[in-house]
A and B are shown apart, each in its own frame.
Chain A
Amino acid sequence: MPEIRVTPLGAGQDVGRSCILVSIAGKNVMLDCGMHMGFSDDRRFPDFSYITQSGRLTDFLDCVIISHFHLDHCGALPYFSEMVGYDGPIYMTHPTQAICPILLEDYRKIAVDKKGEANFFTSQMIKDCMKKVVAVHLHQTVQVDDELEIKAYYAGHVLGAAMFQIKVGSESVVYTGDYNMTPDRHLGAAWIDKCRPNLLITESTYATTIRDSKRCRERDFLKKVHETVERGGKVLIPVFALGRAQELCILLETFWERMNLKVPIYFSTGLTEKANHYYKLFITWTNQKIRKTFVQRNMFEFKHIKAFDRAFADNPGPMVVFATPGMLHAGQSLQIFRKWAGNEKNMVIMPGYCVQGTVGHKILSGQRKLEMEGRQVLEVKMQVEYMSFSAHADAKGIMQLVGQAEPESVLLVHGEAKKMEFLKQKIEQEFRVNCYMPANGETVVLPTSPSIPGGISLGLLKREMAQGLLPEAKRPRLLHGTLIMKDSNFRLVSSEQALKELGLAEHQLRFTCRVHLHDTRKEQETAMRVYSHLKSVLKDHCVQHLPDGSVTVESILIQAAAPSEDPATKVLLVSWTYQDEELGSYLTSLLKKGLPQAPS
């Protein structure tokens, strides 16, 4: 049986290091190639040696697809393509292609320059890796080869994030990457058509959460920031340079303007201005409102938000600082955190998910004494707030997407096992489809029954139609034809056409049979009696009496002969073709019963 096989190399019952191997109709596709923020040893990258024991990755994989620019989805790409070795195509959207190398370079700098890691990928490797990238448009059907095609759908989440449909013939898989089913201040909502894939592979970060309305969360956020700066505290918001940062900037910018606040807002790293520029140039990927008004006012030109300088951290008085990275695991956000952590007037707001092992995760789980390098202990007195602004679909959103795509089965990745279990049950109950949640390295096998497309010759079809009733959609009907398989193409044609096309001579198979009859009359009269008998019995068939004395029923030929030795016996010679076997044998048995007495 044909089957679809899925093996997560990362993101199986886990968040981080997304990398999923899919085999569909003989094609092998790798979905995402991420790194894990919680590890800095070998475990940070997927184990690519699993993919193929012998031979090159390029020979085994037909293509690699990157869903969006977050490092847990593309962070291992240069390592994979340049150090392990892969030369095939890598597909991603235009914004992802633009932003991905910048984040990779940033990541490399932190790893090599700050942490001093050896044997890491180089800047040149990032460039070489990006040369293998093929950019795709939304909804464009990309033909990877003659059989394999992929198509991107809008996913929200971050600029350029996409869901991908992978299709071979009538079999297909949809991979969501990370997505968001509600539009936010700068991006639209994910959307997919009713494409009915065999399998939907969906993220499940917020598998058990149903989030309150965005408005409430935003109000809450603004209130907390406002209160803190009012009492003279400093607010630290660790973010990644692209994505949530822009959403929160738009939020604060409009609030500052409305309330006429003067407290400074800073944004760390030189990346930001560049990042905002990407948003301006790729404005077609943002939400409707921003796209509509960008000519009058570009939402990504901020008046109140200024660039941050390291020295500002020690300035007295209130301020709001956006700093990277988002999980407090390294870099400037961690530095500022260490400076401000001791003062209870200050506040840190974590606007997104934090991977296990990061400082962000520790303080969110209530830890107030942190062991830093050099056996220093940092006491956290500042207020710690968590606000889920990360743009992942919540349980409701995931269910909504499953309903939109109508898959035959669902597979969960990018989430925690316990939460997945809950969602799995819910999906199985509500949609009555199988739901899988493989761990890393575990393979899910899904049997499929793809239909095989072929062509039917119009002549054959018309001949069949002419034979009687119109075809009924729900009733099978028998049709005689010859199936020609050539160059993996299937064509159903009439046998005459097949013979002609293949240059074969036609052979006829005929059955013959003798039936003895007691009849003293002449042969001609016997034939006449046979004719009238058959004519009265076989009302639906064409019975003919030919001038030479023989009788035909369709293709069946009946001749009467008188054997010389016995004048009272006549022999009927019955002959029919193989195709009319049914009728032929029926006729013989009918004749064997004898003829009815001729009317006197």
Chain B
Amino acid sequence: MKIKKILSLSYCLSGHPTLPCNVLKFKSTTIMLDCGLDMTSTLNFLPLPLVQSPRLSSLPGWSLKDGNAFLDKELKECSGHVFVDSVPEFCLPETELIDLSTVDVILISNYHCMMALPYITEHTGFTGTVYATEPTVQIGRLLMEELVNFIERVPKAQSASLWKNKDVQRLLPSPLKDAVEVSTWRRCYTMQEVNSALSKIQLVGYSQKIELFGAVQVTPLSSGYALGSSNWIIQSHYEKVSYVSGSSLLTTHPQPMDQASLKNSDVLVLTGLTQIPTANPDGMVGEFCSNLALTVRNGGNVLVPCYPSGVIYDLLECLYQYIDSAGLSSVPLYFISPVANSSLEFSQIFAEWLCHNKQSKVYLPEPPFPHAELIQTNKLKHYPSIHGDFSNDFRQPCVVFTGHPSLRFGDVVHFMELWGKSSLNTVIFTEPDFSYLEALAPYQPLAMKCIYCPIDTRLNFIQVSKLLKEVQPLHVVCPEQYTQPPPAQPHRTDLAIDCQPPATSYRRAEVLTLPFKRRYEKIEIMPETVMM
């Protein structure tokens, strides 16, 4: 029998492997997989200080080699790097490759992968439904709220655009010169847009089968990476696509990953692997604790730039166990974020989405995370911002958890300015999304110590190989970054996906044809026919 290949297309709208945005055309439905927002673009901008910073405001304007200074209002120079002095902007997923108003549904895999949602649902004519789990929506809302708050509370008059002109951009120094698609970069959305976007989400639970127009069934599966994080199965009666995004096999707080349900896939789309394949998360946590202890013992302060949810829960849990044994129980831990309180409260009510150990605590009934006890005993204090109560309570030395990890906005900017001049203090980078050297560039020269302990619990290449052997998909599709070793370590062939047949790779703005071999269609047989 002749096997016919039918067209099933995948449009790749994001070039960032951990902040994916793909559109799948499958069985006459158009499904967007994730809606990631690339925020690394903000590294090209000057930080937004909460308190007027004489240093930042007196940076010299940048001029061309020939002395032409027409850009000196927009571009500033700091320790040999050039930054845009403007409201920070984000790099959106591709919006021209496919008419986004034709998207029927958007499937969200975790709260980090939905940050571009308002841009898509509010400005493209999108009329469909978004599916996500309850923790994903709640925590995603907190992340968006924090972002909007960080940017809106320091209004900046200037919105630079001259530098974006193609003829001008050519003349700029790296990395500005090489920044992609700068004309499509956008300012942050408003809270109104966030609320409207989130109102389009329909809540789903793990292993819930959702019918789309009777043609396709989609199911979220636990992915083990974050509270409510999911992988998705997209299937018709005889074809199955697995969408794996941000999964983890480590035992942290979320429910373990459901691997068995990924079996027998025709196509497995693989995104969201660890960004730091060479670092072991457990080792990093150990280093985090010892560096923290060392600094505090010497009378210095520790700054931890972080997101308001996720790894911070695990870090607080580690510190809960660690500070007493290290004799640090009197050192205050501060968590500063407009959503700090909400994040800590929300973490305690999602028992059903937690790992078994934490779940059984709720049955006692006790709060699943020990930060409840840290708060009760006054060891951990949380504040919406550095203004208000915090300034009265503030004691040094201390440990401060605050955002944003890009160091471009949020309360962290204030602490960088405040503590940067003393070598007693330490900033510890735990979030893997931003290059720490680039994040630090506008603060140079810096006296404070910088420790890089990226904690990324997502799958590494060894785990991926094992997973693929286990679930045996017929084809693997992944971002091109995963098919070759990292550019900085070309000899590390182990840092790439190894599978048979070789994975099909994609890059931003590419359209792929997915290789399905369709052989059967579903029918229903009347019982009379069979009983004859």
Contacts and interface: CB of A to CB of B under 8 A. Distances in A.
Contacts, number: 107
B532 to A, nearest CB: 10
Contacts of A451: 524-527
Contact of A94 (B346, B351, B521): B351
A205 B350 CA distance: 33
Contact of B523 (A170, A455, A462): A455
Nearest to B350: A284
Interface in B424-458: none
A559 interface: no
Interface stretch (A48-56, A273-281, A396-404): A273-281
A454 interface: yes
A528 B237 CA distance: 54
Given A140-B206, A294-B349, A455-B522, A281 B365 contact: yes
A452 B525 contact: yes
Interface residues of A, number: 43
Nearest to A451: B524
Interface string B323-342: 00000000000000000011
Given A452-B530, A455-B237, A458-B518, A281 B1 contact: no
B204 A139 contact: yes
A457 B519 contact: yes
Interface string A438-472: 00000000000111111111110110000000000
A2 interface: yes
Q: Helix, strand, loop or mixed for chain A's interface? A: mixed
A422 to B, nearest CB: 36
Contacts of A142: 207
Contacts of B1: 457, 459, 494, 496-497
Contact of A281 (B342, B351, B520, B523): B351
Interface residues of B, number: 39
Contacts of A456: 520-523
Contacts of B208: 137, 139-141, 151
A364 B10 CA distance: 68
Contacts of B342: 295
B394 interface: no
A477 to B, nearest CB: 13
Nearest to A284: B349
A283 B349 CA distance: 6
Interface string A277-307: 1101111100000000011000000000000
A455 B518 CA distance: 12
A281 B525 contact: no
Contacts of A295: 341-342, 345-346
Contacts of B530: 452, 490
A533 interface: no
A92 interface: no
A456 B524 CA distance: 9
A281 B349 contact: yes
B121 to A, nearest CB: 21
A125 interface: no
A139 B365 contact: no
B351 A282 contact: yes
B362 interface: yes
Given A449-B527, A451-B525, A457 B205 contact: no
Given A137-B206, A281-B351, A497-B1, A454 B524 contact: yes
Given A94-B351, A281-B365, A451-B527, A294 B520 contact: no
B65 interface: no
Interface string B349-378: 111100000010011010110000000000
B134 interface: yes
Interface in B74-112: none
A155 B84 CA distance: 55
B491 interface: no
Nearest to B367: A281
A282 B207 contact: no
Contacts of A494: 1
Interface string A486-521: 000011101011000000000000000000000000
B348 interface: yes
A97 B365 contact: no
A457 B2 CA distance: 11
Given A281-B367, A497-B1, A455 B238 contact: yes
A98 interface: yes
Given A141-B208, A295-B341, A453 B362 contact: no
Closest 10 CB pairs of A and B: A455-B520, A451-B524, A137-B205, A139-B208, A452-B525, A98-B363, A140-B207, A277-B365, A139-B205, A456-B523
18 contacts: A98-B362, A137-B206, A137-B207, A137-B352, A140-B207, A141-B207, A170-B524, A278-B365, A282-B349, A284-B134, A294-B345, A295-B345, A295-B346, A454-B524, A457-B1, A457-B519, A458-B520, A492-B523
Interface of A: 2, 94, 97-98, 135, 137-142, 151, 170, 274, 277-278, 280-284, 294-295, 449-459, 461-462, 483, 490-492, 494, 496-497
Given A452-B524, A455-B523, A458-B518, 4 more contacts: A281-B351, A281-B365, A283-B349, A452-B530
